[in-house]
Structure 1
Amino acid sequence: MTALPAHTRAWLEARGFTVREASMWLAALTHGSTGEAANYERLEFLGDRVLGLAVAHWLYNRSEAPEGKLALRLNAMVSRAMCAEIARGLGLREHLRLSKQAEADGGRDSENILGDVMEALLGAQMLDNGFDAARDLVHVLWRPALESGEGKAKHPKSALQEWAAGNQRRPPEYEVVDRSGPDHAARFTVRVRVHKVGEAEGTASSKQEAETEAAAAFMERFG
């Protein structure tokens, strides 16, 4: 049976993880392409939930924002891209266990793999040390992103799209409800509607700008 390399254990512990059951941590770093039964997939499933709850806890305690805005920030903080960014910052790529083919295919730099393994490590941290330890570690590792306000400043249409998805709503629907003025100085009014939530309107000199204004008005009212 393969043992957790000493340099990998040292790396994990230097970054705040506490290794007790070494075989579980080895699995967390192992890609399915190796053919080993113990890989990161089940731990990633668990770690994804650990991360979501830990970040939600941080946001709830440190922000008076309404639910819609909290959901937007949560989505940004637990995204695959964010998990991969944290993983790269920790130097995770050097400790991945991949098949030769996955390595040749660029697996060591894959955002999907890095993000999944980052979550698997959080799952291992919880199983080996309890939820409180896993939550506290998330708060440490994600603190720069959380305190930077990342996830707040989004284009209004993107923000509304994510808000709808995060709240299990249908995608927003945009409709031009008025066009006035001559061609060289036209004014468009667009209505955006989210099913079973509400609607808002925006007016601007182009359809695209009016959609943006409508999305911003919607988020101001319902987000």
Structure 2
Amino acid sequence: MKLSAELKAFQGRIGYDFKQPELLLRAVTHSSKSSPTREDNQRLEFLGDRVLGLVMSEALLERDKGASEGQLAPRFNALVRKEACADVAKDIDLGAVLKLGRSEQMSGGRRKLALLGDAMEAVIAAVYLDADFETAKAMVLRLWGSRVDSVDADARDPKTALQEWAQARKQTPPSYAEVSRSGPDHAPVFTISVTLQSGESEQATAASKRLAQQAAAKTLLERLTQA
């Protein structure tokens, strides 16, 4: 099969030309666009998640030979979580080549964090299957770039870090509440508050509840630890 001009350009952005172009087409096909003659990218996403995990595990071990498992785990999580995959997907404009059903197109699917992250993992799997692990690894490290070297030494999820801070002071876990939701259904904006048993609180706004919770927790923890 022949790739469209858009997918050929996408190959240039990831630095890899497929010998089996049908793998790339499957990697960018969302379930909303699948049919009996067109597979979606869900199985590739499953595989790509594992390939990405092995790549990052090796990279982190190589870059810090003295780090403990407790230090490596949060760094690993920061590099492989869906937000990180989606950020890389945005860098290479993966959203522009996604094959989406009409409903997903109308609801802003090309910008959705989950869809972009899943498709990024599927692309990794497609390269792995089309070539080999080393080729997929080289592409991942190239696309993730400085993220690997600059990942915070303590990359714990802010919600986890805040909860540990509270527990160390004999407080109950922080509570989160939705303050407001605005924007259209396809691009909602959430404002979330976080409150500790001792009364301290902060709030933050983001494009998903999870991101808003993390941002609020981070802001509160920074204020508490700098006080």
With normalisation by structure 1, the TM-score equals 0.69
1:79 aligns with: 81
Segments of 5+ residues of structure 2 without an aligned counterpart are 173-196, 201-227
One-letter amino acid of the structure 1 residue matched with residue 43 of structure 2: R
Q: Sort the Cα spacing of 1:155 and 1:32 in 2 relative to 1 into closer, same or farther, 3 A.
A: closer
Shift of 1:153: 4.9
Shift of 1:45: 0.5
Instruction: Quote the sequence identity (%).
Output: 36
1:121 aligns with: 123
- Pick from 146, 149, 164 the counterpart of residue 148 of structure 2: 146
Shift of 1:136: 1.4
Q: Which stretch shifts more, 143-152 or 31-40?
A: 143-152
- For the residues of structure 2 that align with 1:33 and 1:131, how far apart are their CA atoms? 29
- For the residues of structure 2 that align with 1:108 and 1:33, how far apart are their CA atoms? 12
Shift of 1:190: 2.7
- For the residues of structure 2 that align with 1:155 and 1:115, how far apart are their CA atoms? 18
Indicate conservation of the 8 Å contact 1:43/1:119, yes or no. Answer: yes
Segments of 5+ residues of structure 1 without an aligned counterpart are 162-171, 177-188, 193-205, 210-223
Indicate conservation of the 8 Å contact 2:6/2:97, yes or no. Answer: no
1:109 aligns with: 111
CA RMSD of aligned residues (A): 2.8
One-letter amino acid of the structure 1 residue matched with residue 71 of structure 2: K
Superposed CA offset, 1:147-176 (max 9, x none): 222473557762487xxxxxxxxxx79768
Q: Does 1:89 align with 2:91?
A: yes
- For the residues of structure 2 that align with 1:39 and 1:5, how far apart are their CA atoms? 18
Residues 1-223 of structure 1 mapped to structure 2, 5 A cutoff: 3-36=2-35, 37-63=38-64, 64-150=66-152, 152-154=154-156, 158-159=160-161, 189-190=169-170, 207=198
Indicate conservation of the 8 Å contact 1:54/1:135, yes or no. Answer: yes
One-letter amino acid of the structure 2 residue matched with residue 190 of structure 1: K
Indicate conservation of the 8 Å contact 1:18/1:129, yes or no. Answer: no
Indicate the SS of the match to 2:61: helix
Shift of 1:6: 2.9
- For the residues of structure 2 that align with 1:114 and 1:7, how far apart are their CA atoms? 17
Shift of 1:30: 0.5
One-letter amino acid of the structure 2 residue matched with residue 39 of structure 1: D
Indicate the SS of the match to 1:190: coil
Indicate conservation of the 8 Å contact 2:78/2:155, yes or no. Answer: no
Shift of 1:84: 0.3
